[in-house]
Amino acid sequence: SKILYKEDVAVIRFSDQTSKVCVNKQSLQLHELADVLGDIWLYRSSKSVVLISGKPGCFLAGADSNMLQSCTTSEEVTSLCEEAQKLFRRIEQSRVPIVAAIHGSCLSRGLELATACHYRIATKSKETVLGTPEVMLGLLPGAGGTQRLPKMVGLLGAFDMLLSGKNITADEAKKMGLVDQLVDPLGPGLKSPEERTMEYLEEVAVGVANDLANKKIPLTREKKLWDAVMGLGPVRKMMYSTITKRVQKQTKNLYPAPFQIIECVKTGIEQGSDAGYLAEAQSFGKLVMTSESKALIGLHNGCLLCKKNRFGPPEKEVKKLAILGAGLMGAGIAQVSVDKGFTTILKDTTEDAISKGYEKVYKSFDTKVKKKAMISFERDAIMSNLSIQTDYSGFESADMVIEAVFEDLNVKHKVLKEVEAVTPPHCIFATNTSALPIRDIAAASKRPEKVIGIHYFSPVDKMQLVEIITTDKTSKDTLAAAVSVALKQGKIVVTDGPGFYTMRCMGSLFMESLRLLQEGVTATKSDFLATSFGFNVGPFAVTDEVGVDIGLHISEMLCKAFGSRYEGGSLEIVKTMVEKGLKGCKSGKGFFLYGKTKSVNPEVEEILKNHQVTAPSAISSEYDMQYRLLSRCINESLMCLQEGIIASPLEGDIGAVFGYGFPPMHGGPFRFVDTFGADRLVSLMKRFEDVYGNQFTPCQLLLDHAKDPSKKFYESSPSLLQY
Ligand SMILES: *[C@@H]1O[C@H](CO)[C@@H](O)[C@H](O)[C@H]1NC(C)=O
Ligand SMILES: *[C@@H]1O[C@H](CO)[C@@H](O)[C@H](O)[C@H]1NC(C)=O
Ligand SMILES: *[C@@H]1O[C@H](CO)[C@@H](O)[C@H](O)[C@H]1NC(C)=O
Ligand SMILES: *[C@@H]1O[C@H](CO)[C@@H](O)[C@H](O)[C@H]1NC(C)=O
């Protein structure tokens, strides 16, 4: 960090030479800050201080999660926290007023530092966000965040921030009392807008620092309504219990961090600061060591890796996309494409279909305008890059065509041939099929090296994952181009070999759930077995959402491809359901009825009467049933790695969590095996195998790991693994 005196004000700049985004080399930077401030306090060399980042874009980044992971005991982590807490408390108690000047992200430790200061000024830039995202990594703010926030923004405001981890804009922060003053960002001049904004911010902050020192601005915060409310013991008590109940419901008691956050806040308020800080440092130490936090941090790091193009830039950058099929999927893909600056054609066969597609895309941006997240000029500029049409004009300059047409091989072949006839030789043909092997689609191609699968998940704008599927003919350059497109669309990308990773895992979960139904377990109970493990929705609710007919189609394909291994429940049940029009949410009923409340569909119960099987008494506990579901889907994941369908455990975990909702606190099937123990899982599966047969035979990879407990999918440090 650099220090600069502007008359009576010391301007301290954080800077970090080593990285473009400011990564906090924690102890080093904080020590430096401690030294600099120590001198100021000792020699009274200035009357006030401004803290500002030397790099625009980020005030001060949070603690480095890899560094935390390198600590081996919670005591070690606790003492790191205490060090930071001590410094921040000294800042808070400084007689020399300290102003935080914020431009860019001010998250985690950055926010904790800012809140320890006496006054906060933030730019109104879009990049300026404040927040405490630690909870999303299974942690809590460990440098006083749980202690200061309630005093600044009230109990409810603080719980909202701490428990959601959401980003808060500068405007919101001002309203909440999290920042004291806003400044407008500047446009370009002789220097870049960023530089000009930083300079202006610094100038304003220096002025405020002077005013604070000269008592022109009072140091005490004005009393807010919640100060009075917080003063009432019974009201606080009620708040703690309401919040705790809400968190129990939301987390199903599966995540420890939110409860620790509530405890720390409560301890600080009810027992005083010293007790609060101690609780915070100790809780942080404990949380860092939990499997939940390790899993969430692993996923976080994994996502960062999957947001990089590990295949290098393609020979020719993809600029122009054409999308075939303007249905929900096609329109969704068009939306994320124009949004990120691709020139995009949306084609379907009828005027009606394309205008509906256009409407959908337009509406998505218009909603942003209404929410003031975008101005109407931006909306119109983006929409001007989207053309809708029923013919192939313009395809002669397309770099990539993504088809999302009806799932029928003949239709796909017809479309592929038409497209190849009108597109240039370098144009890539990407198919969003979920049920047909890409290889079979590519069989009709003149340029099979240009054919690839890009598997979007519905709804495209919300689901972060994209699976990219290659065949043995797909060229490396085609892969690199497809990955670059998906990344530019803002997606997390995992690459698969031929096959359908997420589909296979989800399918096996579904087949075993069907079997449970036949054994007399209700659909509600069956879904509960999955949700109580941490899935957001159970397999039957998912199938109703996706469509029972589509579920049937996929299951049939899987059974055809994998034979008896895929069996379990009887697909006849699902066939009869489709025949009777029970197609899930879209037809109003499926496994469940969707009236005012969701309930089991009696028609399905009726169908089940013809498919009952007796449950073997050896395997009937809730635990057993739960692990029947899980072990099948986990075994399937491992098999995909064994078969080379997925490239690494990390991609398998990311695909599972973001593709079919594998519970994040378990980190994905591979990390789960590491944590739970392969040997434990194998012995469970062997018991199931004795009763049910080869659907429960553990795969070789799982057996290998069970035999040798030192074999893990993840080494101690989760980042960069296997790459
Ligand atoms: C919050 O903002 C940061 C920095 O801009 C960003 O990396 C992060 O993804 C955002 N988080 C959420 C939940 O939007
Ligand atoms: C429209 O497309 C062009 C060419 O791909 C791109 O340069 C431009 O940024 C896009 N416009 C918007 C508003 O995204
Ligand atoms: C595209 O892929 C999604 C995700 O599997 C699938 O739900 C959808 O049916 C596919 N759509 C088309 C038209 O290929
Ligand atoms: C696990 O994999 C093996 C193949 O190695 C297979 O035979 C078995 O059926 C699979 N089990 C489950 C539960 O999917």
How many Å apart are CA 477 and CA 298, to the nearest integer?
A: 29
Same domain, 117 and 240: yes
pLDDT over threshold 80, residue 564: no
- Per-residue pLDDT, averaged over 465-470, amounts to 91
Same domain, 538 and 652: yes
Residue 442 inside a domain? The answer is yes
Q: Comparing 17-26, 294-303, 705-714, which segment has the lowest mean pLDDT?
A: 17-26
- Per-residue pLDDT, averaged over 155-163, amounts to 95
- Per-residue pLDDT, averaged over 190-205, amounts to 91
How many Å apart are CA 471 and CA 497, to the nearest integer?
A: 6
Name the residue type at position 720. L
Orientation angle between helical segments 622-642 and 501-518, nearest 10 degrees: 150
| Contact status, residue 163 vs residue 134, Cβ threshold 8 Å | no
Q: Which of 609, 611, 552, 559 has the alpha carbon at shortest distance from 584?
A: 552
Percent of the chain whose pLDDT exceeds 70: 94
- Per-residue pLDDT, averaged over 96-113, amounts to 93
pLDDT of 25 reads 40
pLDDT of 336 reads 97
Mutate to test the pocket of ligand 3, among 336, 411, 432 (most ligand atoms within 8 A of CB): 432
pLDDT of 723 reads 25
- Per-residue pLDDT, averaged over 102-122, amounts to 94
pLDDT of 2 reads 66
- Per-residue pLDDT, averaged over 358-364, amounts to 96
Relative to the CA of 457, which ligand 3 atom is closest? 4
Q: Is the CB of 385 under 6 A from ligand 2?
A: yes
Same domain, 527 and 477: no
- In this structure, what token pair is assigned to residue 372? 């003031």
pLDDT over threshold 50, residue 234: yes
pLDDT in tens, 44-86: 889 999 999 877 778 876 555 556 667 788 998 899 899 889 9
- Tell me the CA–centroid distance for residue 643 and ligand 3, in Å: 24
Position with higher pLDDT, 104 vs 21: 104
pLDDT in tens, 514-545: 999 999 999 999 999 999 999 999 999 999 99
- Per-residue pLDDT, averaged over 203-212, amounts to 96
- 361-370 in b/e form (b: 16+ CB < 10 A) is bbebbeebee
Relative to the CA of 406, which ligand 3 atom is closest? 13
| Contact status, residue 703 vs residue 330, Cβ threshold 8 Å | no
The region that residue 463 occupies, defined by phi over 0 for left and psi between -120 and 50 for alpha, beta otherwise, is: beta
By residue count, the chain amounts to 723
pLDDT in tens, 240-259: 999 999 999 999 999 999 99
| Contact status, residue 454 vs residue 434, Cβ threshold 8 Å | no
User: Does 636 participate in catalysis according to the annotation?
Assistant: no
pLDDT over threshold 60, residue 117: yes
| Contact status, residue 325 vs residue 405, Cβ threshold 8 Å | yes
- Per-residue pLDDT, averaged over 6-10, amounts to 89
Where among 289, 308, 339 does a domain terminate? 289
How many Å apart are CA 505 and CA 527, to the nearest integer?
A: 16
Same domain, 468 and 545: no
Model-level pTM? 0.88
How many Å apart are CA 7 and CA 115, to the nearest integer?
A: 25
Residue 719 inside a domain? The answer is no
Residue nearest to atom 13 of ligand 2 (CA): 382
Instruction: Identify the burial level of 48 via C-beta atoms within 10 angstroms of its C-beta, where 0-12 means exposed, 13-18 middle and 19 or more buried.
Output: buried
pLDDT of 625 reads 94
Residue 99 inside a domain? The answer is yes
Relative to the CA of 635, which ligand 4 atom is closest? 1
Same domain, 258 and 359: no
Residue 45 inside a domain? The answer is yes
Same domain, 411 and 459: yes
pLDDT of 59 reads 82
Where among 489, 517, 541 does a domain terminate? 489
Residue 295 inside a domain? The answer is no
Q: What is the CATH number of the domain that holds 390?
A: 3.40.50.720
Same domain, 134 and 88: yes
Q: What is the CATH number of the domain that holds 531?
A: 1.10.1040.50
pLDDT in tens, 603-624: 999 999 999 998 887 777 999 9
pLDDT over threshold 50, residue 23: no
pLDDT over threshold 80, residue 14: no
Q: Which of 317, 320, 297, 299 has the alpha carbon at shortest distance from 309?
A: 317
pLDDT over threshold 70, residue 721: no
pLDDT of 241 reads 96
Q: Comparing 185-189, 224-228, 701-705, which segment has the lowest mean pLDDT?
A: 224-228
Where among 247, 268, 289 does a domain terminate? 289
Q: Is the CB of 456 under 6 A from ligand 3?
A: yes
| Contact status, residue 285 vs residue 77, Cβ threshold 8 Å | yes
- Per-residue pLDDT, averaged over 492-518, amounts to 87
Number of domains in the chain: 3
| Contact status, residue 127 vs residue 194, Cβ threshold 8 Å | no
pLDDT over threshold 60, residue 26: no
Same domain, 283 and 370: no
Q: What is the CATH number of the domain that holds 14?
A: 3.90.226.10
Q: Per-residue confidence at 189, pLDDT binned at 50, 70, 90?
A: confident
Count the Cβ atoms, other than its own, within 10 Å of residue 383: 15
Estimate to the nearest angstrom the gap between the alpha carbon of 138 and the chain centroid.
13
CA distances from residue 653 to 114, 300, 657, 661, 662 in whole angstroms, order as listed = 36, 11, 6, 10, 8
Mutate to test the pocket of ligand 3, among 411, 433, 467, 548 (most ligand atoms within 8 A of CB): 433
Q: Is the CB of 542 under 6 A from ligand 3?
A: no
Give the structural domain span for 429. 320-489
- List the beta bridge partners of residue 469: 453, 496
Same domain, 535 and 666: yes
In the set 467, 512, 636, 651, the catalytic residue is: 467
Same domain, 125 and 164: yes
Residue 522 inside a domain? The answer is yes
| Contact status, residue 60 vs residue 108, Cβ threshold 8 Å | no
Count the Cβ atoms, other than its own, within 10 Å of residue 602: 10
Residue 721 inside a domain? The answer is no
Estimate to the nearest angstrom the gap between the alpha carbon of 359 and the chain centroid.
28
Same domain, 415 and 447: yes
Percent of the chain whose pLDDT exceeds 90: 68
Same domain, 204 and 285: yes
